[in-house]
Amino acid sequence: MIEKPPTSPNKKAKKTSALSYVFLVLLGISVCSFLQMRGLLHAYDSIGSNDQDATHPQTTSAIESSLHAFKSAGKKEPAAIVEDHESVAVEDPIPNPEPTIGSESFSACLLVMDDNHRLVEWMAYHYHVLPLRYLVIAVDPRSKTSPTAILNRWRTMGVYVEEWDDFNFMRKDIASNKIGDDQDLQIKRDRHRMRQKNFYQACLRRMKAQNRTYTTLIDTDEYITYNYKGGDQFEAWEKKRKQITRKIPIYKGKTRVLPSSVPPTTGEEGALLKFIRTEQKAGTPFFQGACISCPRLQFGSKESSEEERKHGIPESLKIDPFRLDTLRFRLHAERQDFVKNGLSKSILDVSRIDKFPKIQSLHRPIKSICSAPWKDEWSSALRINHYLGSWEAYSFRDDSRRGGERSFEGWAFKAKEGDDTDDNIRPWVDGFVQTHGPDKATDLLKDAGLPRGMKGNDKNWTIMFLDEILSVNKTEGNPMRVAFDNFVRDFHLNEKQTPN
């Protein structure tokens, strides 16, 4: 049995604060409170509903093998992947190109920590689709790797990149006080939250000073995309979605937001900004504010088949589709389930904002102009695909929330979620290859993802509330808490349950 760490003196206050916030935010607050305390708020963030075909049989061998490895090790924590990754060479930043005109491209504020395996695909996608041309990126001081070599590729492609450390956005005395890997979970979590809020505020102010416009505040496992199937399949896709939602009570009385013209696909270079501008001029309400809140859609970890991963991908691209999350994971949770999909995130037009107050919520960065963070998917023209990823990717870094908001049980519980498919994001790869040619596209995507069959070293990813869950035979109350606790008990105690 895992020994529970000592309770933080601020735990009770934090719990009360979280409950109060969620209560003000939405019904079902007890769900969010539970998820935060049980280490699932991040692990149980987003998912959506039927896009193309209904339920589809999927291979779950990767998930099951992780579960089996966990049990075979005497119910110790599974290995977290750290070593044997194809390392990116450490480089110094090369000179930046001349920045593009702010109104003609996107900008991004990005926090990273040992995210190189995800950063490669994230950069390529947003460079092609948005188009992303200005990036302020801050590296966590606990990070073991540097993203500079990857960022240099994109400097040569016209992306202006500012690489920050904590001294760019934290008080000097705080930035100098390093938090070690062996610090208490609560201390690491508090510093993590402080860094996020300070960084985003400083970054938005910097974007304003640099005459930028639309700026994203998302992570390397999140991808901004259209909430439609674009191109010649738009009308058929919308018709099918309306037929499906007509039978679902939660959609009753809701109005679907439709664009003034057929939206593009992700295959069209730089089309998302053009789409926003077009819809602004057409008066589409979703795009009129300086803060655009986008719902998130959580994709689980059920593996697609080799044929499904390769579908529509040029053979001339010498990159294994297994290593691209946007091709590898196709199943997601129900669209209107805000608990599973998590709260929305925002795109801000900094050119239309005069003041950038202290950020209280990452999901509603400026309360006066950003809508409440439980954004309705049916009334949204854009969304954010959120990829849980494989266990290897999820556990790759020594996350400050390990054992709390991020745990193996939380990943496993969420990994099996999702029976509905969505492939609307896939055309970007073909468009990327068509734009840059197969050789250049292959070079830019080099080192994306983690290679197959990786090995790793031991880290404790077991949820810190395990004893509490196992101490009772039955959980009552919130359905989500009941479901998660039952999953944990079956996994740890039910000897008859063995992965297939």
- pLDDT tens profile 383-430: 999 999 988 888 887 766 676 667 888 788 778 767 789 999 999 999
Q: What residues have CB less than 8 Å from 119, skipping those under 6 apart?
A: 112, 147, 150, 220
Q: ∠ CA 429-293-422 to the nearest 5 degrees?
A: 35
Q: What is the DSSP string of 332-388?
A: E--TT-HHHH---EEEEEGGG-S--PPPS-TTSSSTTTSPPSS--GGG-SEEEEEE-
Q: Is 15 a domain residue?
A: no
DSSP state, residue 358: P
Query: CA 296 to CA 388: how far, in whole Å?
Result: 12
Q: Is 405 a domain residue?
A: yes
Query: CA 468 to CA 225: how far, in whole Å?
Result: 40
Please give the structure tokens belonging to residue 12: 């009770």
Contact call for residues 298 and 333 (beta carbons, < 8 A): yes
Q: Is 30 a domain residue?
A: no
Q: Which one-letter amino acid corresponds to residue 382? A: L
Chain Cα centroid distance, residue 159: 22
Between the two ends of the chain, the Cα-to-Cα distance in Å is 25
> Given this model, what pLDDT does residue 380 score?
95
Q: ∠ CA 236-378-36 to the nearest 5 degrees?
A: 135
Closest listed residue to residue 127, CA positions, set 147, 148, 100: 100
Mean pLDDT of 290-318: 94
Its domain, for residue 368, covers 38-493
Q: What is the DSSP string of 151-217?
A: HHHHHTTT-EEEEE-GGGTS-HHHHHSPPPTTS-HHHHHHHHHHHHHHHHHHHHHHHHHTT--EEE-
> Given this model, what pLDDT does residue 410 score?
79
DSSP state, residue 41: T
90 versus 357: the higher-pLDDT residue is: 357
Mean pLDDT of 207-217: 98
Please give the structure tokens belonging to residue 170: 């934290």
> Given this model, what pLDDT does residue 406 score?
72
Q: Is 384 helix (H, G, I), strand (E, B) or coil?
A: strand
> Given this model, what pLDDT does residue 89 score?
60
Q: Is 3 a domain residue?
A: no
Query: CA 374 to CA 356: how far, in whole Å?
Result: 22
Contact call for residues 275 and 214 (beta carbons, < 8 A): no
Averaged confidence pLDDT in the chain: 81
Q: Is 487 helix (H, G, I), strand (E, B) or coil?
A: helix
Q: Is 21 a domain residue?
A: no
Q: Is 402 a domain residue?
A: yes
- pLDDT tens profile 62-99: 455 554 544 444 444 443 434 444 455 678 999 999 99
pTM of the full structure: 0.82
Q: Name the domain count of the chain.
A: 1
Query: CA 66 to CA 78: how far, in whole Å?
Result: 7
Q: Is 183 a domain residue?
A: yes
Neighbouring-strand partners of residue 225 = 383
Query: CA 265 to CA 281: how far, in whole Å?
Result: 20
Is the alpha carbon torsion for 285, 286, 288, 289 positive or negative? positive
